[in-house]
Amino acid sequence: MDVFTRITAVFGALLLATASSVSAATLPSATLPAGVGVNIHFTRGNTQSLDLIAAAGIRVVRMDFFWNTIERSKGVYDWSAYDELVGNLEARGLQPYFILDYSNAIYEQTRTSWVGAYPSGSYVLSPQHALSVAAFSAWAKAAAVHFAGHNVIWEIWNEPNLATFWKLQPNATQYSTLAISACNAVRSGDPSAVVVGGAISGFDWAFLMPVLSSGLLSCVDAFSVHPYRGASSSPETAASDYAQLATLIAQYTPSSRTSKIPILSGEWGYYTSAGGVTPATQASYVVRQQLSNLLNGVNLSIWYDWMNDGNDTNNPEYNFGLVNADLSPKPSYTALQTMTQQLAGYGYQSRISTSSTQDYVLVFVNANGQIKLAYWTTGSSHSVSVTPVVNGLQLSTQNLSLTGSPQYSGVLGVVPGS
């Protein structure tokens, strides 16, 4: 790197750092569609996908932020692919959610995997030695400096409780050591950054407990989980797990923290292939996931995945998308878009009880005090009558036909004094 390039890079970093002092990063609010997110698998181009994402009312885009593609030589960082992505996201009003991952062979050991007596491939150990932990943290700090002022949410790792993503095998102590170091490094690079820890696959209590008690909650702004469950378990079944996790987070949050640490649904979807759900059920579930998460105090919900990764209908990994591989919309895309249009500007307020706990009648209110309902059931389709009372205002009785697909009322009234 020549002198001019170095000076330009330093000057650019100073400008971005200055921008961060006036443009602090934020977590999405509970007002729709601020916390509606999706996971992607690209950095450059794909502008048609990004146009469709924005048109669906999605506002947060999650993507891997690969260490080994950014730092190919020690201490030299190539941000260009992510500069392009951030620019494309910002042009469409989309917030970046970047996952600081994975390992890097220039700092950590490479191992060979074997099938019997034959080598089948190689992998790099996850950062677990002092050198690689320090290098990962230095890279994370440099990223925070470079992208300060761009409202990036930084998540530390992806599903460290799975051997697929933490090599050689999951280790809560190793992950916690890395996450604490990286979190503090991001904060030193951009004090206004938003940092998320966890990213745990499922509610893996054996892994979660040592992470929560490690001291990580002294640093992070939020804690994410990936509440995947089988096709026979609907999104509403996550409620008790969220409640248990919230209790544990409160238990291990240091007394010096003045506000509660929110839970994020950092990745979660249902696939439409053999053994999965039908396209119609996926369409219902993508909306019910968003709405039931709000009911459980989870404001950010990132659907996995944006698009089908292939055309093999027997491969689950290929069929999580909201759109097909050719970008044609699946029913889930249309259902999500309908929700964001119907409830744009509305925030969840309360749930109306009926004679069945399987019924979900949720009250939403916007900044002007206008009231709407979103409603569905996890049981058999049926009709109910409810008389909503919102902030002391009794509304007229509503006769609702509940099915497994969420529906929306018109404006039912206006909260007094709005």
Domain match, 260 and 181 both = yes
The pLDDT tens digits for 304-333 are 999 999 999 889 999 999 999 999 999 999
CB 17 within 8 A of CB 301: no
Q: Residue 277: inside a domain, yes or no?
A: yes
Among candidate residues 141, 156, 37, the one with its CA nearest the CA of residue 89: 37
Domain match, 238 and 155 both = yes
Domain match, 88 and 192 both = yes
CB 364 within 8 A of CB 30: no
Q: Residue 220: inside a domain, yes or no?
A: yes
Global pTM value: 0.92
- Please report the pLDDT score of residue 113 as a whole number: 72
Cα(60)–Cα(175) distance, integer angstroms: 25
Last residue of a domain, one of 344, 364, 395: 344
Cα(104)–Cα(66) distance, integer angstroms: 9
Within a 13 Å sphere around the CA of 395, how many CA atoms are in the beta-carbon half?
A: 24
The pLDDT tens digits for 94-139 are 999 999 999 999 999 998 775 566 656 789 999 999 999 999 999 9
The pLDDT tens digits for 324-366 are 999 999 999 999 999 999 999 999 999 999 999 999 999 999 9
Last residue of a domain, one of 344, 367, 394: 344
Q: Residue 14: inside a domain, yes or no?
A: no
Provide the domain limits for residue 377: 349-414
CB 48 within 8 A of CB 327: yes
- Please report the pLDDT score of residue 120 as a whole number: 64
Cα(183)–Cα(24) distance, integer angstroms: 16
Q: 300: Cβ–Cβ under 8 A, 6 or more apart, which residues?
A: 27, 28, 35, 37, 60, 222, 264, 265, 266
- Please report the pLDDT score of residue 118 as a whole number: 61
Domain match, 153 and 112 both = yes
Cβ burial, residue 259 (10 Å; 0-12/13-18/19+): exposed
Q: Residue 18: inside a domain, yes or no?
A: no
- Please report the pLDDT score of residue 23 as a whole number: 63
CATH number of the domain that residue 136 is part of? 3.20.20.80
Cα(360)–Cα(352) distance, integer angstroms: 7
Domain match, 316 and 364 both = no
Last residue of a domain, one of 326, 344, 362: 344
Domain match, 333 and 406 both = no
Confidence band, pLDDT 50/70/90 cuts, at residue 83: very high
Number of domains in the chain: 2
Residue 14 reports pLDDT greater than 90: no
